Amino acid sequence: MTTTVTAAVARAPHEPLTIEELELDDIRPTEVRVKLAASGVCHTDAIVRDQVYPTPLPAVLGHEGAGIVEAVGSEVTTVVPGDHVLLAAAYCGHCDLCRAGKMAYCENLFAADFGGRRTDGTTALSKDGEVISSHFFGQSSFSTHANVVQESVIKIDPDVPLDIVAPLGCGIQTGAGTVLNELQPSLNSTLVVLGTGAVGAGAIMAGRVAGCSKVIAVDIHESRLELATELGATHTVNTRDSDLTEAILEITGGKGADYVVDTTARPELLRKAADALGIRGTLVLVGAAKPGTEVTFEIGLSLVKGWTFKTVVQGSSVPQVFIPKLIELWKEGRFPIDKLVKHYALEDINQGFEDSASGVTVKPVVVFA
């Protein structure tokens, strides 16, 4: 039996999402029906809307959902109806990497998160016989209800406000996890964060949790740099006014940075950041670039630094383990994600996309009535 839902549908690249009534099919044995309370708007939603990554359109996007379980499939054992849940990225659960606890690097990641179909080729969404891509990141949370794969579901305490913690499902988890799970910085080290959107904000807050003595926030928007200072940045650099390499070297007394997290995926900034690394420094790319994008690095004088470049997905997190830890940090006042959030009604979702792109809002969150 199908259910009628209201959803934001991406129908064409670079075009606004349209609010439509769709049919949602029955849950499968390994799925959970979730009534959405909120969903973050992420940069990944925008680049998939614009077909940088090829999820088939039309599609219902959204991958930072939060809501209440309405029904569970016969094989689901982790949640029951009435549970409050956050939704994160999907993973297959059975490849070698998933079984090793490295589900952020699932061998079937693109199919699970961007394919727009279940593994049997079906979609959960349709409109008068028209197929609509579903299961974006296992969820497609820009909808009043979603059939979600069980791998995407994280149970949380019912006293946690869903409209505040929804963004932990992707962007903020990515930034925080990159620092806490992947880099694990040493005490009193220097962390540079390029781009102070939601991902960068997560990295900045995590840097202070980890005990970095210098956390350098880099952006072109002064308002975001001011917010970064509130979140824990000890220094800020506006690259409209300063050379990135020179600024980092000046702040560090010529030693260079121990760690750099880049959320921008801009090749020229990656090069500048690499040149500002200290001995044995690490440069991490978490920002999504168009496939085929290349970066050039100096490999002559920098050879003796022994520096590292790596890419990180989803903060190298096990969502069911890491996200509850971030919620505990928020409860303790050490991870103030509420400073990032601005709420939008579903019918105003395109304004949320615009405000995120312009820098007006760090983390738009769609709130369902």
Measure the CA–CA gap between 307 and 362, rounded to whole angstroms: 31
Q: Are residues 122 and 201 in the same domain?
A: no
pLDDT of residue 98: 97
Q: Work out how many domains the chain is built from and give that number.
A: 2
CATH code, 63: 3.90.180.10
The CA distances from residue 264 to 193, 216, 248, in Å, are: 10, 15, 17
Residue 101 falls inside a structural domain? yes
pLDDT of residue 2: 84
Q: Which of 368, 330, 57 is nearest to 201 (CA)?
A: 330
Q: Are residues 15 and 65 in the same domain?
A: yes
Q: Which domain holds residue 57?
A: 3-169+336-367
Residue 116 falls inside a structural domain? yes
pLDDT of residue 336: 96
pLDDT of residue 91: 96
C-beta atoms surrounding 233 within 10 Å? 28
CATH code, 237: 3.40.50.720
CB 222 within 8 A of CB 238: yes
Q: For helices 267-275 and 244-251, what crossing angle results, to 10°?
A: 30
Q: Are residues 215 and 152 in the same domain?
A: no
pLDDT digits 0-9 by tens, 188-200: 999 999 999 999 9
Residue 71 falls inside a structural domain? yes
Grouping H, G, I as helix, E, B as strand and the rest as coil, residue 172 is: helix
For the chain, residues with pLDDT lower than 50 are none
pLDDT of residue 369: 77
Q: Are residues 116 and 247 in the same domain?
A: no
Residue 9 falls inside a structural domain? yes
Q: Are residues 179 and 275 in the same domain?
A: yes
Q: Which of 186, 163, 167, 349 is nearest to 281 (CA)?
A: 186
Q: Are residues 77 and 184 in the same domain?
A: no
CB 249 within 8 A of CB 274: no
Q: Are residues 55 and 18 in the same domain?
A: yes
Q: Are residues 165 and 176 in the same domain?
A: no
